Amino acid sequence: MGQIPKKWVQYTVEDTINVPIEIYWDLSFKLNLEELGSVGNYKDLPKIVKTTPVNGNFSQVGHSRRVHFNNGKTLLESIIECQKPSSFAYELTEVGIDLKKVAKRARGHFRNYPLPDGRTRVVWTYGFDQKNFIFKWLIKRYIKSTHRFWMKDTLAEMKRQIEEMYKTQQK
């Protein structure tokens, strides 16, 4: 369900989190999107200022929340796959930011893999359902100039926060 169709424009980042997969999964739901999504300043990407629940507490398939940006725009983020501890996917619709000009919707898909040494490999793919071929080129340009840096920084901040929470639990 959470797989991103091959025809969509995609970008993937990955990293190793120094936390066992089951604990990583639980801690990942304690992360604050407002902090994660606003790590740096990026051209063409507004900062997330808050989220508000729409359906549920954003912990299982069918739950959704509205994401609010510092430019007053919003989008709807809905969980479309949640298979503990290996896979989590969400879809962005009702997009109010500039992305709506070139893409119908977007998806993020986290795949988590347990490593033999007790750490977790996280692979995060983002996909954009472009409206047409010209927009596909524009989205690729946007990924190259902005989105890939946001994804790398966001994943690094997720790693930092989760490892810090894990260390705090160990004390």
The segments of the chain whose pLDDT lies below 70 read 1, 37-38
Instruction: Please give the pLDDT value at position 1.
Output: 63
The helix-helix angle for 21-28 and 148-170 (nearest 10°) equals 110
Report the C-alpha gap between 35 and 50 in whole angstroms: 9
Q: Would you state the pLDDT for residue 33? A: 79
Q: pLDDT value at position 45?
A: 79
In a domain, 92, yes or no: yes
Position 99 scores a pLDDT of 76
Residue 76 domain-assigned? yes
Domain annotation covers residue 3: no
CATH number of the domain at 32, please: 3.30.530.20
Parent domain of 86: 9-170
> What is the pTM assigned to this prediction?
0.92
